[in-house]
Amino acid sequence: MNATALATPSPPSSSYTRSSQAPTSSTAPRSGTRLGGLDGFEMLKRRAAETPGLISFAGGLPAPGEFPRTKLAASFVRALQSPSCPALQYGWPEGDEDLRSWIAGQLRRRGASVARDDIIVTSGAQQAVSLAAQMVRGAGARIGVEAESYPGALELFQALGMTAVDDRSNVDAYYIMPALSNPRGRKLSAHERARVLSTLRPIIEDDAYADLCFDGAAPRPLLAEAPDRVFHVGTFSKTLCPGLRVGWLVPPRALRADVLKLKQAEDLQAASLPQAILEDYLRNEDFDQRLVRLREFYARRAARMEQALRRHLPGWRFEPPAGGFAIWAEPDAQPNEAFFLAAAIEHGVAFDPGSLFRANGAVSPFALRLCFSSVSRDEELDEGVRRLARCWAEVA
């Protein structure tokens, strides 16, 4: 697909070949030069997805090699066997009952007092954040976010007319990832945790990466401390696969009925088929064991990318992530961000530009999110960083 194809309607191709796919996860720019309906970064992202041999450190995608394909296929076949076939039929707006039981059980193990009927299954974590944001929004509500935050949430707050600010002292609500932040891969400090809780404001707790902390099981969620004002968000996208689009929201109980009505108005329900597959899969597999393996897998990749960065780009500062998919790097020079990204793609490597993660979209100080998660082989981590280094030497 040509990057401009979306802006200029063209006759559909007659060939029925599968095109390359690319992430929507966290790379959508909030601002940028409009080029025929596509933002500049959006065009670069799509161009990158078209470039043969490109090594992508962009997008926050999980490793496709870790998708449990055979087991999911077996679950699919089993899920179709019931005569009334609920897997293919409409379902309840709150989601599959057994799946909600499983999610509630996981949260109870982490210290939260959660029952099955507190859980609302959503169309991915993004919808969960969206529903929560609509609940906490007032006219022009100020929402406190971390200095670098998940772009999909920042985009959303803007679309809802909310103002995201990284000053956390004077806000109406918070959006945070306490277990493990994105993009920094950092755990919220005990001090910050206490401070946020002490404000008594509503908190959207995005727990997307909580199960991928390298040092062990997911920590105690904020939900456990303040269930009356925490909107807890989770997802299977990072630990199983994003293509199912199954996430969940635990809203404060007093708002559950309102959230459910809003969810139903938006899209009736999360897709039945992925829920049915998941429910069967979780019943038959050892998910804890899977999480242990995934933590080892991503920790090994993180270490390898850290090593490559220290060797090839010794001037770049970064903090080794405590988990997740990415390293947040702060180089020692300040090139033009869009220009450097375009140059990097020319060199056969892509990344997520730092401005995407900032509430005000600032391009300075120059920074990059480098995802080690989704390259097809570990060696590509070395080669991708070498390409970045060559490009850096030319441009910066």
Alpha-carbon span 202 to 297, nearest angstrom: 35
For the chain, what is the radius of gyration of the CA atoms?
21
How is residue 314 annotated by DSSP? Answer: T
Instruction: Say whether residue 44 binds a copy of itself (CB under 8 A).
Output: no
Stretch that binds a copy of itself, among 167-175, 183-191, 211-219, 261-269 (CB under 8 A): 261-269
- By CB under 8 A, residue 224 contacts a copy of itself: no
Nearer to a copy of itself, 2 or 189 (CB): 2
- Min dist. Cβ of residue 58 to a copy of itself (A): 11
| 75 in Cβ contact with 99 (< 8 Å) | no
Binding-residue pattern over the window 301 to 340 for a copy of itself, x denoting contact by CB under 8 A: ----------------------------------------
Footprint (CB under 8 A) of a copy of itself, residues 91-110? 91-94, 97-98, 100-101, 104-105
The closest alpha carbon to 345, from 25, 116, 54, belongs to: 54
Contact between 242 and a copy of itself by CB under 8 A: the answer reads: yes
38, β-bridge pairs: 35
Instruction: Show the site string, 269-298: x = touches a copy of itself by CB under 8 A, - = not.
Output: xxxxxx-xx-x---x---------------
In angstroms, rounded to a whole number, what is the distance separating the alpha carbons of residues 262 and 110? 28
By CB under 8 A, name the one of 241, 305, 322, 359 that touches a copy of itself: 241
Helix-then-strand count for the chain, H and E: 11, 15
Minimum Å gap between C-beta 128 and a copy of itself is 9
Interaction residues for a copy of itself, span 189-218 (CB under 8 A): none
- The only residue of 142, 201, 256, 386 in contact with a copy of itself, by rule CB under 8 A: 256
From the list 21, 19, 39, the residue with the least C-alpha distance to 29 is: 39
Number of residues that bind a copy of itself (CB under 8 A): 95
**DSSP string for residues in 208-273:** TTGGGBTTSS----GGGT-TTTEEEEEESTTTT-GGG--EEEE--GGGHHHHHHHHHHHHSSS-HH
Residue number with CB closer to a copy of itself (17 or 170): 17
